[in-house]
Structure 1
């Protein structure tokens, strides 16, 4: 129990989570995504029983992201911090949903922390050696992706039935793999991390461009109909 509220079980949580995420049912996700969301639910349920506030988990996630550029001289460790920050981002929502404490204000702050966190990750890319222009392009395109979703929702399109290649899980994966890979090649040769993270940042930009195009196409179809 959390106060007088009964915690949601997995099936109840999946229904509530889907309602907040465009109707996407986590029980129908693939093994990787489904496993990640099930893990977030398990941790979130445990924290909810301990009466940990969702906002506290959100702040922990932000702190982990802020630490990422501070660890740029150890890219592999920075990559682990990105992964932990991403898990905190999933868990804070799980705590809120499973305990019936999800609010519009919490959703706003969670989205803000997501954008700030991604900015921190990209600063780490720049510190490792990615060109500033490429880093700015990656951040701007990712922001544009989320801005389009927000504006379309405000325009009355509640169900955007497309998952693009530029979604946040993709950005998390690129950041984790890129930083860990940069750390690994740096152990082999000191001048390799900069080139490696530049290629990874270029991949981020490419996926973001395709993602925005996919999203705009889906929005165009949806609003036209």
Structure 2
């Protein structure tokens, strides 16, 4: 599959958003996923195997965080690898022609399970339990509202909010990276996660009301 064919298929699966017209960072990320996905696909790696690898990496995050500051630093690396796997499973599915509705469901479930692992690591690293639970509930509510709105007729994306998954990945990565140097960074990360989800939820509700009015 050529890059042009991949970009067209990717756009179809992401609500019509064309990566060829995106910012250099987004375009570079999608093109990089295409190249690595093509490499894995040629070697018989399945999309589900990549998804499963990402989940395992995410669930390892709270485990390594138990080791203290050094473990928190390793947690940052695992978050980065898991985020890469999250982008690659879809790329492998597209380049191998194995895109399916079941795969979409698996990927969504893997994302939520993975984020639960990151949030658990926040708690292990010292963030208050109530804050971690609130952050997790807010992000799950964000995804639930979008899913129900899509089922009710809203376009698949609807609105790109500040609380999307890339934001959560960035927050977790930075929180663990700096948390290895200063423990309060993890607390700040958990608070930032919750704040971005609250703002994102407000943006999403506004978009849902406008789309389904």
| TM-score normalised per structure 2 | 0.95
Indicate whether 1:207 and 2:196 are aligned: yes
The residue correspondences of 1:180-195 to structure 2 (distance < 5 A) are: 180-185=177-182, 193=183, 195=184
Match of 1:130, SS? coil
Pairing 1:60–2:53 present? yes
Q: State the match for 1:106 in structure 2.
A: 103
Moved more, 150-159 or 81-90: 150-159
Give every structure 1 segment of 4 or more consecutive aligned residues whose post-TM-superposition deviation is greater than 3 Å.
Answer: none
Shift of 1:159: 4.2
Quote the residue 2:187 is aligned against.
198
| In structure 2, distance between residues paired with 1:160 and 1:70 | 34
26-35 vs 56-65, greater mean Cα deviation: 26-35
Matched, 1:70 2:66: no
Contact 2:14 2:157 in 1 (8 A): no
DSSP-derived class of the 2:181 partner? helix
Equivalent position SS for 1:165: coil
Alignment deviations for residues 10-60 of structure 1 (CA, whole Å, 9 cap, x no partner): 111111111111111111222222222221111111111111111011111
CA distance in 2, matches of 1:212, 1:112: 20
1:12 has 2:5 as partner: yes
Correspondence 1:152 to 2:145: no
The separation in 1 between residues aligned to 2:42 and 2:58, in whole angstroms, is 26
Correspondent of 2:26 among 30, 33, 44: 33
2:78 is aligned with 1:81 = yes
Distance 1:118 1:55 in 2: 18
User: What's the TM-score once normalised by structure 1's chain length?
Assistant: 0.90
| Counterpart-to-counterpart distance in 2, 1:144 and 1:34 | 29
Of 113, 118, 129, the residue aligned with 1:116 is 113
CA contact (8 A) 1:178 1:196 kept: yes
